[in-house]
Structure 1
Amino acid sequence: MSLQVYAHRGYSAVAPENTMAAFQRAVDAGAHGIELDLHLTKDDEVVVIHDETVGRTTDGKGRVRELTLDELRQLDAGSWFGEEFKGEKIPLLSEVLTLVAEKGLLVNIELKNNKIAYANLESKVITMLQEYDLVHRTVISSFDHYSLRKVKELCPDVDTAILYMANLFEPWEYARKVGVTSIHPYRPTVVESMVAKCREYNLPVRPFTINQVKEMRRLIGLGVDALITDKVEQAFTELNRGE
């Protein structure tokens, strides 16, 4: 399989992150897949937002877990990025999966449960993936590796990926022990020997977040399986250079 481009929080270089506008622009730019982040609301709805709080990416305040869906949907998630995006809402996961299914996208779902222990987040996500027939087009990632074990128990067929920041000793062995099927390392930890070893173990390597041209070229040269990037069109420019 040729290298894939995942739009990090949607095409977040040109639209407000984790909004339907950003996901649609990823589609328009030809991204193979989108990456998104999940939290649970006060009334246990699965919503797409990166932070535990709403202040950075909306005109509101407070923790996602302490606000109902109705309260969250009243917030403007676009104006902070640009006036043309005024009125963008925090999406439900179901809304994004509808787009993914319609457009034939891949999707990388990050469970943001490493700071807040969301009960049943894993089962809610798996149920939705099954309803939309997207299990085989999804990779579920998390910094909470216990959560990934739970995901695999619920749905052995779904691709799962450990997220990590610091250098991990023999990540291919660690991945096998955890039971995941891919790795999503922080970009500086990716070196030639690691990529080669992961290939021996049949572990796709999808580093994050790749926005600098020099780093795109380095990682493409190492033969990683995907780039997770804010800059979708730049990534394709670099991919096309190598052809």
Structure 2
Amino acid sequence: MRSFKYSLFLLLACLACSPSEVVYEEYIPDYSLQEKAVASLLKKHPIEIVVHRGANHLAPENTFAAAAKAIELGVDYVEIDVHRSLDGVHYIMHDLGLGRTTDGWGPIRLRTSEYIDKLDAGSWFGEAYAGEKVPRLEEYLRWIKGKAKAYLDVKTADLEEVVRLVRKYNMEDETFFWFWSDSMLEEFSVLAPELRVKINAHSVEEVMEAKEKYDADIIECNVQEITPEMVQLCDSLGIQIMAYASSNTAEEFKTVIKSEADLVNLDKPGLYLEVLQAMQGL
């Protein structure tokens, strides 16, 4: 029975992908971005800030609103997740399914852009964000260019199209990438050897493997795993270290700030700034 329901859903989705008269209207919110005073603390801060799914504690994750909140705090990168719709449009969303963060349902890969573009991706977080849309990747890159850089966690995609968009908006030096599978990474490396990739590595041995096997530009690990030996090796190989903030507590942020990480991937940029401000005695 479950197999029949899935087959029926796939059939309906394919039928919905047939040509229609619907004309897509571009969605790029006109946010009046006001940089917070504390953002100035990051300008001379040696560790670049990567905000996971945008400022997801202040606005709905993976939306323009979450990115805007992060930009106002002066972050360096906004991390986004990339999925492809049934008809080949790339969107920013974390989950495989639409149900958790929108008023839609079903796998995003089996939904058309016409369906996804109508969804509300903000009401689940709060009434103030009702009507927030699921961002299309192309519109998002065009909007964020010059405001912040982007870290793309690519989950399902036409890699040629993703590379085309990054090059179209001249963001080769303003992006880096991570992939769900080795096969996607291998394909990407052939398509765009100039674009930077991140690999998870938790030891000196894994750092060596990341460089030899994947030519990694950035490795990500827990802050406790950043040893003098790892720092020395990464320096010699031209690899940056990104600390992953797993708990996003003040104590963890203190450890990150004292570490030799080049970047930090976190969820609470506001708290990080508070800790940084306190440690600088301001």
Letter matched to residue 52 of structure 1: L
- RMSD over equivalenced CA pairs, Å: 1.9
Does the CA-based 8 Å contact 1:5-1:235 persist in structure 2? no
| Match 1:31 to one of 75, 87, 97 | 75
Any stretches of 5+ residues in structure 2 without a counterpart?
Answer: 1-44
Cα offset, 1:171, TM superposition: 2.1
Amino acid at match of 1:173: M
49-58 or 223-232, which deviates more: 223-232
- Following superposition of structure 1 onto structure 2, how do residues 39-188 of structure 1 map, counting pairs within 5 Å? 39-103=83-147, 105-113=148-156, 118=157, 121-163=158-200, 167=202, 170-176=205-211, 177-185=213-221, 187=222
Give CA deviations for 1:149-204 in whole Å, capped at 9, x if unaligned. Answer: 3222111221111146xx4661221111212211123x266332433432332211
Secondary structure at the counterpart of residue 244 of structure 2? coil
**% identical equivalent positions:** 28
Q: TM-score, normalised by structure 1?
A: 0.88
1:199 equivalent in alignment to 2:243: no
Cα distance in 1 for partners of 2:179, 2:254 equals 26
**Structure 1 letter corresponding to 2:205:** E
- For the 8 Å contact 1:38–1:110, the answer to whether it is kept is yes
1:200-233 per-position Cα deviation (integer Å, ceiling 9, x unaligned) = 3221111334512211221222211111111112
| Kept in 2: contact 1:108–1:138 (CA 8 A) | yes
Q: How many residues align?
A: 233
Which of 232, 246, 254 is 1:217 aligned to? 254
Task: Give per-residue Cα distances to partners, 1:78-128, cap 9 Å, x unaligned.
Answer: 01111100111100011211122142x111001114xxxx4xx22111100
Question: Partners in 2 of 1:150 and 1:130 — Cα distance?
Answer: 17
Q: Distance in 2 between matches of 1:43 and 1:195?
A: 44
* Gap change, CA 1:146 and 1:179, over 3 Å in 2: farther
> How far apart, CA to CA, are the structure 2 residues paired with 1:238 and 1:226?
16
Q: Would you say the 8 A contact 1:141–1:163 is kept in 2?
A: no
* TM-score for both structures, normalised by structure 2: 0.77
